[in-house]
Structure 1
Amino acid sequence: MKKRQIEVAVISNIHLGAEACRADALQAYLSSISPKILVLNGRVLESEASFQSAFPSPHYRIFKKLLSMASAGTKIYFVYPGQDTVFKTFKEKALDNVFFTKNLFLDLDGKRAWFTHGDFLDSSLFSKKWVHWMGTGRLRILAGIIRFKNRVRNSVGKPLADALLHSEGDYEDRLKRDRTLRETTVKLAVGRGCDYLICGAPHHLSNLWLDTSIGKCQYLSAGDWIENLTALEYNFKRWKSYRYSEDKLSPFFADEDLKEMNEEEILSKNFKAGPTMAG
């Protein structure tokens, strides 16, 4: 079958190494598309311990698939959370068409897109109404303080400070909190001159335009692959949501090229000497 040609695909939180990882569905989806750019936002690996234990075969095939896509010309960006020390070790490695960064900025048809996990928003401070009225300069300072606080807590094995994005609570309260977080993040994006903000932290699909006192920005989230099997796709100057449950063709794609390549062949095509860009 002919693969769908798309400009950008975004998948969030695939959690390779986790028992609940939906690796077979991910393999089928990746095999059904041919993107120029693939952004993996958020948790790609379940934990650092995943490197020290054997991966299930379907999970390992995802790594092979990604390297195969990179060798075919797809640029793959791993946008990892600030506290993810696993990919910090990869950041200095040189892989052809594979990049590691905490924040990614891309030009898409003359518009600026900001891809971030958004873990710095996972704080009670950003849920306060008064934060919404802060200027972009002060918002960036506040975000930096929270990042530093979380980095210190992570280094000593403590949970993130005042984590809220995935906390339990009244449904209406969480909706109000999510709305405030969206508005605050969009204001940060507009201050950075961005037209699109793609955030990896939310667990649900989002695609809406939000206005601020200094401009408007399209706020997007790919949802959470491990929970909802959803993604984002950019093509023909517009974003659309993807739902695996509604895709009638993906399950029928067989990755014959990947089956014929062993690990050594894939790695030899992708590793190279010298530094690589990490934004």
Structure 2
Amino acid sequence: MKQVLKQLDVSVISDIHLATHASKAKVLLKYLKTIQPETLVLNGDIIDSWRFSRNYFPKAHLKVIRQFIKMLEKGVKIVYITGNHDEFLRKFNGARMGNLEIVNQLVLNLDGQKTWIFHGDLFDHIIHQAKWLAKFGAATYGLLTIVNKFINSILRFFRIKEVIFYKSLKKKLIKQKPQLSRFEQVITQTASERDYQTVICGHTHVPCDKQVITENGVVRYLNCGDWVEHLTAAEYVNENWSLIHFTDESKDEDLQDELDIPSQKELYQLLVQELTLNNMQ
């Protein structure tokens, strides 16, 4: 029986981090095969150039790229907004290739309402003041992902529910507060000054949907989250934005990327690459 695709005006996804062990490419592929958007916005950090390696690009990650191409062929407009992990593409700002466009930010006029979409790293003071620290954090995150993947392979063998250590750790270190963060304050204030009713970003890997009262009126702040921990997207349909958390009925083992446990020598090389080389770039 042919699957009925969900018709959308716009879908916004962010922080896929293809070419890393953390990326949930298989789950993302399932989501992409359930939707038929007029416009698909890839809101930064799609391919992770900070930790890209010729030795790691699984089939599932390649299938995501192929799915993007299939969507382009079917008439879907794809707007690739650059992020800090794929900042090498920023020099191609404004480039168009058929239905594909590469930009640094995007403004959509939807039913008389302006929506401002960008990755968000430009408002992250750590990225600008201490980029080495941001890269060190990304490398540590990558190392933890490798360890987590190995442990989950053992848990699956004993039919024990898998865990995501870095997600649990982040929740303990970064507790969501009702008041706005400085990051959110600056973004919503800037959006208000530019007369944008909605602003959508990614970058923080923290999906949220807030109505923010500013001096110039109310601004809706959406963070479309990520496809590493939360599996979320922002969707526009029937004149409304919504934040969706994708769930799938498939068995857990069907959602995992191909298990790639490095040898002792490969593991050592990965550690050196993650914790040293990438932070010197």
TM-score (norm 1): 0.68
Q: How does 1:1-279 map to 2 (within 5 A)?
A: 1-47=3-49, 50=52, 52-53=54-55, 55-81=57-83, 84-88=86-90, 90-91=92-93, 94-123=96-125, 149=128, 158-159=132-133, 171=174, 175=177, 178-245=180-247, 247-248=248-249
| Count of residue correspondences | 217
Residue 83 to residue 201, structure 1, CA distance change in 2 (3 Å): closer
Q: Secondary structure at the match of 2:52?
A: helix
In 2, Cα distance between equivalents of 1:51 and 1:99:
25
Q: Secondary structure at the match of 2:117?
A: strand
In 2, Cα distance between equivalents of 1:71 and 1:5:
17
What code does the residue aligned with 2:24 have? Answer: R
What code does the residue aligned with 2:46 have? Answer: V
Task: Check conservation: 1:12, 1:41, Cα contact below 8 A.
Answer: yes
Q: Secondary structure at the match of 1:228?
A: coil
In 2, Cα distance between equivalents of 1:204 and 1:54:
26
Q: Secondary structure at the match of 2:101?
A: strand
TM-score (norm 2): 0.68
Q: Which runs of 5+ in 2 are unaligned?
A: 138-165, 253-281
What is the Cα deviation at residue 85 of structure 1?
Answer: 3.3
In 2, Cα distance between equivalents of 1:88 and 1:212:
31
Residue 170 to residue 48, structure 1, CA distance change in 2 (3 Å): closer
What code does the residue aligned with 1:40 have? Answer: L
Which 10-residue stretch deviates more, 175-184 or 229-238? 175-184
What code does the residue aligned with 2:30 have? Answer: A
What code does the residue aligned with 2:49 have? Answer: S
In 2, Cα distance between equivalents of 1:18 and 1:71:
27
What is the Cα deviation at residue 42 of structure 1?
Answer: 2.2
How many percent of aligned residue pairs carry the same amino acid?
29
What is the Cα deviation at residue 55 of structure 1?
Answer: 2.1
In 2, Cα distance between equivalents of 1:225 and 1:40:
12
What is the Cα deviation at residue 184 of structure 1?
Answer: 2.1
In 2, Cα distance between equivalents of 1:13 and 1:21:
9
Residue 182 to residue 88, structure 1, CA distance change in 2 (3 Å): closer
What is the Cα deviation at residue 160 of structure 1?
Answer: 5.3
What is the Cα deviation at residue 177 of structure 1?
Answer: 8.0
